[in-house]
Structure formats: C-alpha cells, structure tokens
Structure 1
Amino acid sequence: MGCLEKLEAEVEINSPASKLHQTFHARPYHMCNASPNKLQSCKLLEGEWGKIGSVLLWNFVHDGKTCVSKELIEAIDEENNLVTFKVLEGDILKDHKSFKITMQGIPKGKEKSVVHWTLEYEKKHDKLIPNSYESSVMQLCVDVAKDLGAHLVKMESNQEALLSSVAA
C-alpha cells in the first residue's frame, strides 16, 4: 500500500483572489479561453457549475500529449477562495490510486493574489520516478493560473475601455 504524498506551489498573479476563485469553481470553462494551448475543453457531466458534487470532464495537454480527466468538485470554500477537485477517471489515474487538486486564491493587496496549489496523490507503484509526473502536473497548474491572471486583467482592461467609449 502506497502512502499519500503532497506537492505544493505558489504563484503571484495580478488579479483579485475572489475573481480567480469564481472562475475556477463556477466558470472553469472560461479557463480554456485563458489558456487554450493547455486546456482544450471543460464540460459539465453531472450537477451544476460551481456546486459541490458536480462532475467535470477536462481535455488538456500535458507534456505534449492530449489527456482527459473526469473530476468531482469535492469542496468549495467561498470565504477562503478555495476549491478542491478529486480525479475520478482519466490519464492522471493511470499511475495513481488517487489524485486531488486544490486551488486557493490568497488576497495580496487590492488587485493581486497568490495562487496556492496543492496536489495530494497516492501512486500505484513505488518504483515511479519520484514526483517527476506530479511536478509536471504542478507546472501545468501554475502556468494555467498565470494565463488566467493575465486573461482576467485583459478582460478588465477591455471592459474599462468599453465603458469609457460608451461614456464619451
């Protein structure tokens, strides 16, 4: 029997934690617009967008390969801008008994935040290269957070420009 392992990382982005959290848990399909080279699609299979117990199907690119992941929204904490996804099926579980992805947006000033990622997993085989796969999944998460932060800033700028032109 393997043991539960954990990998954590943080990245600072120029977007409020509440906006980031809202996108991750309630509108994850918007992340595909922010990071189309990494996230190809996000479909709702069961439940409602942004609700605990809902099941999503992700198509994404990892290490140059197209992959799928069926995930359950296991936890949402609005107050702490936290969401946890439990992987139910897909490529990630080929070498893992279990795999969870938690994202927390931590406010840093008015318009910035730190995205704290936690991967919790149990490998099927102890002989797998220590954390190489998990580290590359973590890098994907960090890159998606950076892309989403930049996308949210761009959308905010576009919205401000539109409001300025309407007011003029």
Structure 2
Amino acid sequence: MALYRKVETEVEIKASTQKFHEIINRKLYRVSNVSSNKIRSCELHEGEWGKVGTILYWHYTHDEKDRVAKSVTEDVDEENNSLTWNMVEGDHLKHYKSFKIKIQCIPKDKGSVIRFTLEYEKLHEKIPDSHTFLLFCVDIAKDIDAYLMGDNNEGSFITKA
C-alpha cells in the first residue's frame, strides 16, 4: 500500500484573489489576529515575507492541541497567485515523512476560489489521511475572507483585543 497521499479541496470566498494572496503570502503575521483560535503566531525566522526560501515558525491549535511547525516557502507564483510551503520540522513530521501545503487563489466573476492541496507521505499505513488538517485550512481561509470583507483598514496592523 502506497503511503504517499494528495488531498485537495476548494472553498469559495467573497474577497478578491489579490487581497487573499497578499495576506497569505506577504502578511502572514496578521493571520494570528484574524484567526486567533487556530493560528497563535506565524513568525519570520529567516528571509523575507513572500519570498522563496523564507523560513517560518508556526504556533497553532489543531484537533484541540497546541502544535508547532517550521516551514520553508518552496514556491511562489505571483502570476497564478499560488504558493507552496514545505514543513521541515514540527508536529506534522511525527506522523509524516514529508508534508507540503499548496494554496492557489483563483479569480471568479465575484470573489475567488481558494484551492488547498496537501501532499504528504505517511510514516506508516495506520496514520489517517490528513482530512482534518484540510478542513483546518478551509476554516482559516473563511476567517481571512471575513476579515477582508469586514469593516477594516487593510493598511493598518490589527492588534489582538
């Protein structure tokens, strides 16, 4: 039985492709304020926001547990509004030999479609597929959409209450 898996889903949002991609690619430091019950922090460890090779540290809550991850930005495609993070350390790698998150923002007449693709290799076949993490990504996209469509000033930094 092959241990390599690829799971995908799409979620429609009201925000523009450009605004969503800007937050997810260059302003990830805001996500902990926008989706604070899921993302505790996203810290720039090395490199520049939105650039290939950038190393990020994540503190997040998934399946009611506090977790950590270290990711490297593997690909950024500005033309197609997509990016790929490769998890290189952290809780994911307790169960997976490799784990990548690909996000593509696709424009629609009104709003966007956000496509999430998770590619991973399980350490053994008893590890369940990562559907709950895929839903976790969708929930964060919805939180970002609500923020982008709300009454806010995108040019200012959001602070936690």
Relative distance call for 1:158 and 1:49 in structure 2 (3 A) is closer
Task: Kindly indicate whether residue 119 of structure 2 is the aligned counterpart of residue 120 of structure 1.
Answer: yes
In the alignment, is the contact (CA less than 8 A) between 1:2 and 1:124 conserved in 2?
Answer: no
Letter in 1 for 2:116: W
* SS of equivalent residue, structure 1 residue 57: strand
CA RMSD of aligned residues (A): 1.5
* SS of equivalent residue, structure 1 residue 146: helix
- For residues 43-64 of structure 1, what are the alpha-carbon distances to aligned partners after superposition, in whole Å with 9 as ceiling and x for unaligned? 0111111111000000000000
In structure 1, distance between residues paired with 2:126 and 2:152 = 50
In the alignment, is the contact (CA less than 8 A) between 2:101 and 2:119 conserved in 1?
Answer: yes
In the alignment, is the contact (CA less than 8 A) between 1:92 and 1:99 conserved in 2?
Answer: yes
Question: Gaps spanning 5+ residues in structure 1: where?
Answer: 161-168
List aligned pairs for 1:135-146, cutoff 5 A: 135-146=131-142
Q: How many residue pairs align between the two structures?
A: 154
Letter in 2 for 1:151: Y
List aligned pairs for 1:76-91, cutoff 5 A: 76-91=76-91
Q: CA deviation at 1:144?
A: 0.1
In the alignment, is the contact (CA less than 8 A) between 1:70 and 1:88 conserved in 2?
Answer: yes
Letter in 1 for 2:10: E
Q: CA deviation at 1:22?
A: 1.0
Letter in 2 for 1:80: N
In the alignment, is the contact (CA less than 8 A) between 1:83 and 1:103 conserved in 2?
Answer: yes
In structure 2, distance between residues paired with 1:54 and 1:101 = 15
Q: CA deviation at 1:158?
A: 3.5
Q: Which has the higher helix share?
A: 1
Q: CA deviation at 1:29?
A: 1.2
List aligned pairs for 1:1-168, cutoff 5 A: 2-109=2-109, 111-129=110-128, 131=129, 134-154=130-150, 157-159=151-153
* SS of equivalent residue, structure 2 residue 132: helix
Question: Gaps spanning 5+ residues in structure 2: where?
Answer: 155-161
In structure 1, distance between residues paired with 2:37 and 2:144 = 12
User: Considering only CA atoms, is the larger Rg found in Structure 1 or Structure 2?
Assistant: 1
In structure 2, distance between residues paired with 1:107 and 1:139 = 21
After TM superposition, where is structure 1 displaced by more than 6 Å over at least 4 residues in a row?
A: none
In structure 2, distance between residues paired with 1:2 and 1:74 = 24
Letter in 2 for 1:141: C
